[in-house]
Structure 1
Amino acid sequence: MALPSRARVYADINSHKPREYWDYESYVVDWGQQDDYQLVRKLGRGKYSEVFEAINVTNNEKCVVKILKPVKKKKIKREIKILENLRGGTNIITLQAVVKDPVSRTPALIFEHVNNTDFKQLYQTLTDYDIRNYLYELLKALDYCHSMGIMHRDVKPHNVMIDHENRKLRLIDWGLAEFYHPGQEYNVRVASRYFKGPELLVDYQMYDYSLDMWSLGCMLASMIFRKEPFFHGHDNYDQLVRIAKVLGTEELFIYLEKYHIELDPRFHDILG
């Protein structure tokens, strides 16, 4: 039986907030009109959504529309509640409105527009100063959400928008974000493989904000060493092996012992 863990910082934020702050299941969404937004072009698609550049016809301003694919209402409510709680926070993408298509009832989220440069192309050209600048801005975004009792759980280059011309950074895609409550067991099927912390790879469910710091560390390493991704595992097992090959197994085993974490037998052959 694994031992519980507790965040070293911001552990009790949500216990000091009113219930409606974190109880997203009881949240009632105030849906607006989709007619105010005209889609211009498709920017991309993910597992849970399709994203478009759009125009707000009421003021002629560019915005981004994220049309959600059919998922549990609970997940949609969680994303909206978190975005509303974080609105105005340092380097957090601004949620401008939530709307529903009048006919299909498909929900969509309206965000501020960021003139983004693709990270995979950008990071090749960044100077030492640029790297420090953008990582500091990303750290400010993470410190802000953590100080508000929220883990992002999907930090990766794809979710960091950088307008290099204006030196503006925004942390986006809060679809996997969750409220932190000490001792709560969370789903380990979060974050993208190359950015998953060891706790996810060994199925330890009582993780905390430090999950996001690992992902940030992976981005930092990839920028410094110009190797994207930095830990390139073929599957979740190989991912932990790649990490251990760089950082050693000694501290991994100390960690497993400390929290009484049982390692999947498949690891014994590959980690020794």
Structure 2
Amino acid sequence: MARVYADVNQQMPKSYWDYDSVNISWGVLENYEVVRKIGRGKYSEVFEGINVVNYQKCVIKVLKPVKKKKIKREIKILQNLSGGPNVIPLLDVVRDSQSKTPSLVFEYVNNTDFRTLYPRFVDYDVRYYIFELLKALDFCHSKGIMHRDVKPHNVMIDHERRKLRLIDWGLAEFYHQGMEYNVRVASRYFKGPELLVDFQEYDYSLDMWSLGAMFASMIFRKEPFFHGNSNSDQLVKIAKVLGTDELFEYLDKYDIELDPQYDEILSRFPKKSWHSFVNAENQRFVSPEAIDFLDKLLRYDHADRLTAQEAMAHPYFAPVRAAAAQALQNSGTPTHP
């Protein structure tokens, strides 16, 4: 059971989380024109577009034929999260009258690919953007929603404006206490141990593992940090860092039986020190607070991981919180109401 926000959906009317009954009010397709293709995913093709009514740039996500229910879920979740900090705003939903193919229209973010951008970061940038991402995660968790696909590709950053947006809510799901979820979510390198050992009663803390894996790759300049070449190998890669004794403790605690295939590939690995990943190239990002923060995220036991709110209060973000307080003071807004 989640340590926080466990009963959010219980407290809400059924219409909040019952996405099957969502009513989609379709916008006008002709209001949008495609400019160029900017990406493709398993479930969609993504284009830069223009709203021909107000000449605003936008992003058009054309959904591939998937179950109606999945489309409804994504739309309902985006509607519920509307206006939240650093959550990509859904502007419109349109469909082609012939093919009936639905498209989601989003705010445009002038993103720089993370493989180009992250190497340009200084220590403060990492702190700043991880903090911005935590704002989005704490918000969606507080609304009873797990993202389930946190990874660099789904974090758009307009570095010039220091603007971050968490995108692609296609795998996001409503959290209900005691519910068993599909473990075939998230991208391999960012899958939490719970998914890899087939533990279905996971919760928001899954997103915190993914954030931790992303953070590790940023501070150690190792992309991705856990580089498995299959789901089973992914768990081996994690065990080589966190140790096998700790893994078996976790499995015992939750009464999880490991797939027999692991007998072949999981020998005994000691827990590695985080400091062993520090080198001349990455040491500028590594501090005692950074290591402590990482250590509190990358835990086998999902209940041991920091929540998004706890993470934001961590000493690692003290400079970010101080800068925000200073900015408030400078703008003449009283910090204490």
Q: TM-score, normalised by structure 2?
A: 0.79
Give the deviation of 1:28 after TM superposition.
1.8
- Whole-angstrom CA distance in 2 between matches of 1:138 and 1:35: 34
Match of 2:147 among 152, 155, 162: 152
Alignment of 1:164 with 2:159, yes or no, is: yes
Alignment of 1:49 with 2:44, yes or no, is: yes
The percentage of aligned residue pairs carrying the same residue is 73
Where 1:32 maps in the other structure, the secondary structure is coil
What is the letter of the counterpart of residue 237 of structure 1?
S
What is the letter of the counterpart of residue 160 of structure 1?
V
Match of 2:243 among 229, 241, 248: 248
Give the deviation of 1:270 after TM superposition.
1.9
- Whole-angstrom CA distance in 2 between matches of 1:35 and 1:250: 59
Poorly superposed stretches of 4+, deviation over 2 Å: none
Where 2:79 maps in the other structure, the secondary structure is helix
Where 2:238 maps in the other structure, the secondary structure is helix
- In the alignment, is the contact (CA less than 8 A) between 1:231 and 1:242 conserved in 2? yes
Give the deviation of 1:154 after TM superposition.
0.3
Residue in structure 2 matched with residue 32 of structure 1 by the alignment = 27
Q: Which moved more, 1:134-143 or 1:98-107?
A: 98-107
Alignment of 1:184 with 2:173, yes or no, is: no
Give the deviation of 1:101 after TM superposition.
1.0
- In the alignment, is the contact (CA less than 8 A) between 1:33 and 1:101 conserved in 2? no
Match of 1:136 among 131, 135, 145: 131
Residue in structure 1 matched with residue 223 of structure 2 by the alignment = 228
Alignment of 1:67 with 2:62, yes or no, is: yes
| Per-residue Cα deviation, 1:217-241 (whole angstroms, up to 9, x for no partner) | 0010000000000000010111001
What is the letter of the counterpart of residue 187 of structure 1?
N
- Whole-angstrom CA distance in 1 between matches of 2:261 and 2:100: 45
Map 1:71-110 onto structure 2 (within 5 A).
71-110=66-105
Residue in structure 2 matched with residue 209 of structure 1 by the alignment = 204
| Equivalences, count | 267
Give the deviation of 1:33 after TM superposition.
1.2
Residue in structure 1 matched with residue 106 of structure 2 by the alignment = 111
- Whole-angstrom CA distance in 1 between matches of 2:135 and 2:5: 15
Give the deviation of 1:147 after TM superposition.
0.4
Considering fraction of residues, name the structure with more strand.
Answer: 1
| Per-residue Cα deviation, 1:49-71 (whole angstroms, up to 9, x for no partner) | 00011110111110000000000
What is the letter of the counterpart of residue 181 of structure 1?
H
| Greater C-alpha Rg | 2
Q: TM-score, normalised by structure 1?
A: 0.97
Residue in structure 2 matched with residue 3 of structure 1 by the alignment = none
Residue in structure 2 matched with residue 173 of structure 1 by the alignment = 168
Give the deviation of 1:125 after TM superposition.
1.2
Where 1:166 maps in the other structure, the secondary structure is coil
